[in-house]
Amino acid sequence: MLELKKTAFLCSQKIPASAVLKCYDWAIEQRKAGNCVVCGNHSTIEKDVFEILLKGKQPLILMLARGMKSRWEPVIEQAIKENRLLVISPMDKKVKRVTRATAETQNRETISISDHICVGYVTPQGQLDNLLKNEKFELL
């Protein structure tokens, strides 16, 4: 999967209602097109987008903002068994909680392995805004 063309999906934790539907529509488009997306599941919108994508058959990469889990939900286990989901964690397995620092590391790693960046929403002067200062990205 790492050899495929990949699009990162990133989004600030606080997102206006007007941007939520754009993110959902984008995820459905990516699923239908069979595009490989790299995303986390830390913020609510990232979880929602991940769940929409997980319902498809396209390749998907989940980048964790914590250490690797030892147990997964059945739907995630099934996607892994079908070789359509790759789970990556840039953290030590001892890291059990998501922090501001681990979320930033997750976002940096997501960007580093992706060919394109799509952003659902960026809070001005927020952590994601600062991270994206020198990046080219598509804002939904």
Domain that holds residue 30: 6-139
Q: Is residue 101 part of a domain?
A: yes
Of 135, 127, 138, residue with least CA distance to 105: 127
pTM of the model: 0.93
Q: Is residue 58 part of a domain?
A: yes
Distance, CA of 16 to CA of 98 (rounded, Å):
23
Label the pairing between strands 116-119 and 6-10.
Answer: parallel
Tally of domains within the chain: 1
Q: Is residue 27 part of a domain?
A: yes
Q: Is residue 94 part of a domain?
A: yes
Q: Is residue 95 part of a domain?
A: yes
Q: Is residue 1 part of a domain?
A: no
Tokens of 112: 């580093």
Q: Which residues pair with 119 in a beta bridge?
A: 10, 139
Of 123, 119, 113, 121, residue with least CA distance to 138: 119
Task: Give me the pLDDT at residue 55, please.
Answer: 96
Helix, strand counts (H, E) of the chain: 5, 6
Of 67, 63, 111, residue with least CA distance to 91: 67
Q: Is residue 72 part of a domain?
A: yes
Kindly report the CATH number assigned to the domain that includes residue 98. 3.40.50.450
Distance, CA of 25 to CA of 90 (rounded, Å):
29
Tokens of 73: 């939900």
**Mutual angle of helices 17-33 and 44-54, in 10-degree steps:** 20
Q: What is the pLDDT along the chain (140 residues), one digit of tens a residue?
A: 899 999 999 999 999 999 999 999 999 999 999 999 999 987 889 999 999 999 999 999 999 999 999 899 999 999 999 999 999 999 998 999 999 999 999 999 999 999 999 999 999 999 999 999 999 999 99
